[in-house]
Amino acid sequence: MAAIAAVAVLVVAMVISGGGGVAAAVTSKKPVIYIFGDSMSDVGNNNYLILSLAKSDYPWYGVDYETGFPTGRFTNGRTIGDIMAAKFGVPPPPPFLSLYMTDDEVLGGVNFASGGAGLLNETGIYFVQYLSFDNQISSFEEIKNAMIAKIGKKAAEEVVNGAIFQVGLGSNDYINNFLRPFMADGIVYTHEEFIGLLMDTMDRQLTRLYDLGARNVWFSGLAPLGCIPSQRVLSDDGGCLDDVNAYAVQFNAAARNLLERLNAKLPGASMSLADCYSVVMELIEHPQKYGFKTSHTSCCDVDTTVGGLCLPTAQLCDDRTAFVFWDAYHTSDATNQVIADRLYADMVSAGAVQGNGNVTTASTRAPRVIVAHAAPPPKP
């Protein structure tokens, strides 16, 4: 599953292209949002994959969602993307696999995220069935072709050019790949070589999205992976794993540089890195400041169980709003609310979004590239 690192949905891109026609009608007030990611932003795609082992379609997932039932979200309630969509006045984008290509819904936002996914196709392979980032991009291409069939190529291109693209991937490439002793990448590559592989892969993938019309992309940087419950139990004292946190910081720095290069190379591209590391670390180090009591273990007490998920047999904590983490990998509904509030406020203060939820245009606002906080160097 994705660690909180993905916090794929942590940020909504705030840059909407100007122009007229269909795109202006769609985006002048309410943004069209496309979400790419892993289990931090999956809203049910994996429910449609029969063989997938990365699912949350059972209690106690969804216990605090509006329906009270599991939806495929890997938390007790809403994802950060759900909360951010509400702030922008739009419903959460539906899962891609729930749509027919003849549906009118293909003209609006779509969520392609899939639990277990990574940047690399081999990441998550032991979950059997999932949509890798490459698969998700191919799914978006299907959506765009369906849009063209409905409203024509010119209008579809305008909508896509003006849309928001959220991308939150990379945590599984560490948690469920590089750091796993039975996965080849951690054996074959040094960490420097592995980051190089990830950046080369991201370069190709984001360029492919650009070629399909994406202009406004927000890539969520990794959070402090070494502090999630599933990783803390691997330390001698239950503390954060400094070397794993350092990997996340190094990844974020490399991703920032890549996005800057892509902006310089691709005309009209506005790709930014969102700093998820610092906001999540603040919640972990100072939970009481935000009304939480516990940030080192999960509400379901599943830190050491196989899979680390909140199974129906799990014993829930008495107060789910007091825990930063829902299970061994994912943040709780209450945490997602705090993160969304913090990021949205940052967007408003940056002038990237107005206080009423309307998005500023690319012609008047440049995207921010936010650098993650520093962490100790990896252990030898």
pLDDT digits 0-9 by tens, 123-177:
999 999 999 999 999 999 999 999 999 999 999 999 999 998 989 999 999 999 9
Q: How many structural domains compose the chain?
A: 1
Tell me, yes or no, whether 11 lies in a domain. no
Of 82, 171, 303, 330, which residue is the catalytic one? Answer: 330
Tell me which of 353 and 57 has the higher pLDDT: 57
Tell me, yes or no, whether 161 lies in a domain. yes
Of 39, 41, 52, 171, which residue is the catalytic one? Answer: 39
pLDDT of residue 13: 36
The least confident of 19-23, 219-223, 271-275 is 19-23
Q: Is 327 a catalytic residue?
A: yes
Q: CA geometry: angle at 331 spanning 326 and 334, to 5°?
A: 85
Tell me, yes or no, whether 312 lies in a domain. no
Give the mean pLDDT of 53-77: 96
Is residue 298 helix, strand or coil? Answer: strand
Tell me, yes or no, whether 14 lies in a domain. no
**How far, in Å, CA of 203 to CA of 247, rounded?**
19
Give the mean pLDDT of 191-210: 98
- Kindly give the interhelix angle for 242-265 and 276-285, rounded to the nearest 10 degrees: 160
Of 82, 173, 275, 327, which residue is the catalytic one? Answer: 327
Give the domain CATH number at 106: 3.40.50
pLDDT of residue 31: 87
Q: Is 52 a catalytic residue?
A: no
Tell me, yes or no, whether 334 lies in a domain. no
**DSSP string for 165-196:** EEEE--HHHIIIIIT-TTSTHHHH--HHHHHH
Q: Is 191 a catalytic residue?
A: no
For a pLDDT cut of 70, what percent of the chain falls above it? 84
Please indicate, yes or no, whether the overall pTM of this predicted structure exceeds 0.75: yes
Identify the domain containing residue 89 by its residue range.
Answer: 33-274
Q: Could you report the per-residue pLDDT of 365-380, keeping only the tens digit for each?
A: 333 333 333 334 343 3
pLDDT of residue 72: 97
